[in-house]
Structure 1
Amino acid sequence: MSDFTLHYGHWGWVLVMVLIASWLLYHFVAPRSWHDWTGAGLVQAFIIALYAEMYGFPLTIYLLTGFLGIELPLTGFTGHLWATLLGYGSAGAMLEMLLGGVFIVIGLMLVIRGWVQVYHASLEGRLATQGVYGLVRHPQYTGIMLAVFGQIIHWPTVITVLLFPLIIYAYVRLAKREESRLCEQFGDAYLAYRQRLPMFLPPWQAWGGFLRALFSPLPH
């Protein structure tokens, strides 16, 4: 059995992983306007490109070997490009996977917990300002950025690396548009909230509280 057959061409896995990741995206970051759909569409393209190369066809490895002359065997290990290109071997690949996984897990938890808090706040007609929303103004968008960044660490491809800055740009613009709407809806209350908290990332000294908010019980 060839290395390619052993490690790639598993399009059934591609479909399963794309469906799972897409369900998480559209369930917990439900697009409402076409601006929302733009951001979600870029993340959807990222998801498809990621898993198509992880299990289907290693386009990035072909490009690196064909245009740059880098010798990369067609195995699952070489998909960990940072460790492969820098010569860190299997230990580097494991570290790469663990580090990327930390960003991905934190990102997904931010998306899910942010959704829960916004859902309950909307039922009560109030502004979400507790939990992760008590540390940054857009924790769900922060979560998307962190999860995408974690995948760039874990399994970079040409397409996902190119999509990453576009995703960041789309969600920064989306956050600014959303804040304009919230200012109109909540007035001075949101202006005070916006002045008090950072948009996406807390200051370094607040990261302990930021991480504790991910694991603490949700406020009622």
Structure 2
Amino acid sequence: MTHDAPAYGLWSLVILNSAVFLMFAFSFFKPQTARDWRSFGAFAAFIVALFVEMYGFPLTIYLLSGWLQTRYLGLDPLTHNAGHLWSTLLGEQGDPHFGALHIASYLLLGGGFWLLSSAWHVLYHAQRRRGLATAGPYARIRHPQYVAFVLILLGFLVQWPTLLTLLMFPVLLLMYGRLAVNEEREMASQFGAEYRRYAERTPRFLPRWSANADRPNREAR
């Protein structure tokens, strides 16, 4: 098998892509507290692990190469297109960059960054007036920034899954869940009854889209 251009070992692309996405996320999230830095640090570890395998050393492809070549005759696992594992496993034909999965990944990534930006705008103004963020995305869910990070991570998993990032994803979900609970305790201590009323009518992570979505919901979320 021959390769016209190397698909891996491109460490400059690893650094460049990691830096671009992390700076992009940082500009929207702007971590300030220790909790913010923990959540952003976990996100950064995922991004770096992703691009190391996407352009540096394809550990997942290396570990699965024997099985892939046996199951998919004629497949060259060291091409960049083969790294789009979902497309390969589902038997998609053609360039995976134009496939349905890749388009879905862009929608998840775009939605995640849009939500992150919208949530920060509301949170920034709430912090300046020392008030509670309840407008914009915060009117639908209590933790839009964590949901935004999860959408971005999902987008990358749909586009380029690796064994390491697949293992990291549930750990990050648990971490963001615990951070959200701790944040709620702090908000309840700071804002008292105002926050409790807000929490009663606003779900934690998943918005309600029914006609009575704005009515207070007494169910524990």
Correspondence 1:1-220 to 2 at 5 A: 2-3=2-3, 5-66=5-66, 69-71=67-69, 72-73=75-76, 74-90=78-94, 94-205=99-210
* Unpaired stretches in structure 2, ≥5 consecutive residues: 70-74, 212-221
Q: 2:109, 2:151 within 8 Å by CA — same for their partners in 1? A: yes
Deviation at 1:34, TM superposition (A): 4.1
Deviation at 1:116, TM superposition (A): 1.1
The superposition leaves residues 161-209 of structure 1 with CA deviations (integer Å, 9 ceiling, x where unpaired) of 1110011111110000000000111111110010101111113548xxx
Match of 1:215 in 2: none
Match of 2:72 in 1: none
The superposition leaves residues 39-64 of structure 1 with CA deviations (integer Å, 9 ceiling, x where unpaired) of 32221111011111111221111111
Match of 1:209 in 2: none
Supply the distance in 2 between the matched residues of 1:8 and 1:19 (Cα, whole angstroms). Answer: 18
Query: More displaced, 25-34 or 11-20?
Result: 25-34
* Unpaired stretches in structure 1, ≥5 consecutive residues: 207-220
Matched positions, count: 205
Q: 2:84, 2:160 within 8 Å by CA — same for their partners in 1? A: yes
Query: More displaced, 19-28 or 165-174?
Result: 19-28
What is the aligned-residue RMSD (CA, Å)?
A: 2.2
Deviation at 1:2, TM superposition (A): 4.2
The superposition leaves residues 98-146 of structure 1 with CA deviations (integer Å, 9 ceiling, x where unpaired) of 0111111111111111111100111111111111111111111100001
Supply the distance in 2 between the matched residues of 1:172 and 1:70 (Cα, whole angstroms). Answer: 36
Distance 1:203 1:4, change over 3 A: farther
Quick one: percent identity of the two aligned structures?
40
Q: State the AA in 2 paired with 1:122.
A: Q
Q: State the AA in 1 paired with 2:68.
A: I
Distance 1:108 1:4, change over 3 A: farther
Distance 1:82 1:91, change over 3 A: same
Question: TM-score if structure 1 supplies the norm length?
Answer: 0.85
Supply the distance in 2 between the matched residues of 1:32 and 1:201 (Cα, whole angstroms). Answer: 25
Q: 2:140, 2:208 within 8 Å by CA — same for their partners in 1? A: no
Q: State the AA in 2 paired with 1:47.
A: I
Match of 2:216 in 1: none
Q: 1:80, 1:96 within 8 Å by CA — same for their partners in 2? A: no
Q: State the AA in 2 paired with 1:80.
A: H
The residue matched to 2:6 in structure 1 has which SS? helix
Q: State the AA in 2 paired with 1:17.
A: N
Greater per-residue helix proportion: 1
